[in-house]
Amino acid sequence: MITVHGRASSVNVQIVMWAIAELGLPYERHDVSGPFGGTDTPEFLAMNPNGLVPVIQDGDLTMFESAAIVRYLGAKYGDDRFWPKDPVERAPLDMWAEWAKTTFATAMNPIFMQMVRTREADRNMALVEMSVKQLAKAAAIADARIGDGPFLFGDAPTFADIIFAHQLYRYYTLPFERTQTPNLDRHYERLTKRPAFAEHVMISYESLRAK
Ligand SMILES: N[C@@H](CCC(=O)N[C@@H](CS)C(=O)NCC(=O)O)C(=O)O
């Protein structure tokens, strides 16, 4: 049984929950962080000195950093499609996973922080504009990679898909001008019909909105 500490509305908890669901693993999740608090206790800080979620416990292992957690789950529980054992086969998946975290998500984050977590009067719209431009470039790259898909690497989702596409609910629901990406649009449309994605990623962020 895997224990996940973190609220369902956190995008970094969502990536872990989606991976757990795709892998069909038993879990329990405790609501911690944001309105639930609990990240500044000595017990929590002993698990993650950053005071951030998610944290998982699996047997004697405790770990933080969402993408590292997805890689661990893939290596421990995934089949050879989800987590290729051969480093040469796995390398391109990991390349796209890393790109997703460092390029796509890095452009998404300021848009989310400004449009949801910042009151309208305080928003830095120059930062939003710059991030929207960066994101358009990244989305076009993802669009070309996905093509007919249905996933980044063929017919089944891998750890790279989770690390990339857990951002797509916010990408498609935040109010900003998206570039034309028909393949990515179809990819998202297909994901919305996937129970694990719908349950763990398509979660309203209204409770996070700055008032
Ligand atoms: N790089 C970390 C970032 C973790 C992070 O920033 N978590 C946010 C939620 S998405 C958090 O714990 N914020 C404090 C809070 O919600 O109280 C990861 O990927 O796990």
- Name the nearest CA neighbour of 54 among 109, 112, 4: 4
Contacts of residue 104, Cβ cutoff 8 Å, sequence gap at least 6? 135, 138, 139, 142, 164, 167
* Same domain (yes/no): 22, 92: no
Place of tokens 């054992």: 85
Listed residues 77, 111, 131: the one ending a domain: 77
- Name the nearest CA neighbour of 152 among 99, 196, 202: 99
- Name the nearest CA neighbour of 10 among 147, 167, 162, 185: 167
CATH of the domain at 66: 3.40.30.10
DSSP label at residue 188: H
* Same domain (yes/no): 119, 172: yes
- Structural domain contains residue 34: yes
* Ligand 1 pocket residue status of 12, Cβ below 6 Å: yes
* Same domain (yes/no): 143, 59: no
- pLDDT tens sequence for the chain (211 residues): 999 999 999 999 999 999 999 999 999 999 999 999 999 999 999 999 999 999 999 999 999 999 999 999 999 999 999 999 999 999 999 999 999 999 999 999 999 999 999 999 999 999 999 999 999 999 999 999 999 999 999 999 999 999 999 999 999 999 999 999 999 999 999 999 999 999 999 999 999 999 8
* Same domain (yes/no): 96, 68: no
Ligand 1 site-directed mutation target among 4, 7, 9, 10, most atoms within 8 Å of CB: 10
pLDDT digits (tens, 9 = 90+) for 109-149: 999 999 999 999 999 999 999 999 999 999 999 999 999 99
Ligand 1 site-directed mutation target among 4, 7, 52, most atoms within 8 Å of CB: 52
Place of tokens 């993408």: 67
- Structural domain contains residue 13: yes
* Same domain (yes/no): 31, 70: yes
Range of the domain at 19: 2-77
* Closest ligand 1 atom, residue 11 Cα: 10
What is the biggest distance separating any 2 CA atoms in the chain, rounded to whole angstroms?
Answer: 51
Is this model's pTM higher than 0.95 or not?
Answer: yes
Whole-angstrom Cα distance, residue 136 to residue 139? 5
Interval between CA 36 and ligand 1 midpoint (Å): 14
- Structural domain contains residue 145: yes
* Closest ligand 1 atom, residue 53 Cα: 12
- Structural domain contains residue 189: yes
Number of C-beta neighbours around residue 50 at 10 A: 11
* Same domain (yes/no): 29, 124: no
Residue ID of nearest Cα to ligand 1 atom 12: 52
Listed residues 31, 47, 77: the one ending a domain: 77
Whole-angstrom Cα distance, residue 62 to residue 72? 11
* Ligand 1 pocket residue status of 39, Cβ below 6 Å: yes
Q: What is the pLDDT of residue 211?
A: 87
* Ligand 1 pocket residue status of 31, Cβ below 6 Å: no
- Structural domain contains residue 82: no
Residue ID of nearest Cα to ligand 1 atom 11: 52
* Ligand 1 pocket residue status of 15, Cβ below 6 Å: no
DSSP label at residue 122: G
Q: What is the pLDDT of residue 96?
A: 98
CATH of the domain at 147: 1.20.1050.10
Instruction: Report which residue type is found at 179.
Output: T
* Closest ligand 1 atom, residue 39 Cα: 17
* Same domain (yes/no): 66, 140: no
- Structural domain contains residue 205: no
* Same domain (yes/no): 142, 110: yes
How many structural domains does the chain have? Answer: 2
Q: What is the pLDDT of residue 124?
A: 98
* Same domain (yes/no): 137, 189: yes
